[in-house]
Amino acid sequence: MNEHTQKVALVTGANKGIGRATAEQLAALGMTVVLGARDPQRGEEAAAAVGGVAVVLDVTDAASVRAAARWIDERFGRLDVLVNNAGITGSGPVSPTDALDQLPSSVDLDMVRAVFETNVFGVIAVTNALLPLLRRAPAPRIVNVSSGAGSLALASDPDGPLTRLPASAAYSPSKTAVNALTVQYANELRKDGILVNAVSPGFVDTDINNHTGYLTPAQGAAVVVRLASLGADGPTGGFFGEEGSVPW
Ligand code: NAI
Distance CA 139, CA 162 (A): 36
Q: Please report the pLDDT score of residue 1 as a whole number.
A: 74
Backbone angles phi, psi at 33, to 5 degrees: -110, 125
Which residue from 43, 47, 55, 57 is spatially nearest to 27, judged by alpha carbons?
A: 47
Residue 91 Cβ contacting ligand 1 at under 6 Å: no
- Would you call 78 helix, strand, or coil by DSSP? coil
Residue-wise pLDDT for 119-155, tens only, equals: 999 999 999 999 999 999 999 999 999 999 999 999 9
CATH classification of the domain holding 216: 3.40.50.720
Domain span including residue 81: 8-245
16 is catalytic: no
Residue 207 Cβ contacting ligand 1 at under 6 Å: yes
Domain count, the chain: 1
Query: From the candidates 7, 16, 171, 191, which is the catalytic residue?
Result: 171
Q: Please report the pLDDT score of residue 163 as a whole number.
A: 85
Residue 111 domain-assigned (yes or no): yes
Which residue from 206, 213, 201 is spatially nearest to 241, judged by alpha carbons?
A: 201
Residue-wise pLDDT for 17-32, tens only, equals: 999 999 999 999 999 9
Residue 3 domain-assigned (yes or no): no
pTM: 0.98
User: How crowded is the C-beta side of 81, counted as CA atoms within 13 Å?
Assistant: 31
Residue 208 Cβ contacting ligand 1 at under 6 Å: yes
Residue 60 Cβ contacting ligand 1 at under 6 Å: yes
Residue 108 domain-assigned (yes or no): yes
Q: pLDDT tens string for the chain (248 positions)?
A: 788 879 999 999 999 999 999 999 999 999 999 999 999 999 999 999 999 999 999 999 999 999 999 999 999 999 999 999 999 999 998 888 899 999 999 999 999 999 999 999 999 999 999 999 999 999 999 999 999 999 999 999 999 888 888 999 999 999 999 999 999 999 999 999 999 999 999 999 999 999 999 999 999 999 999 999 999 999 999 999 999 999 99
> Which element (helix H / strand E) includes 196?
strand 195-199
Which residue from 64, 66, 33 is spatially nearest to 51, judged by alpha carbons?
A: 33
Q: In the predicted model, what is the mean pLDDT of the chain?
A: 97
Residue ID of nearest Cα to ligand 1 atom 32: 87
Residue 2 domain-assigned (yes or no): no
- Would you call 77 helix, strand, or coil by DSSP? coil
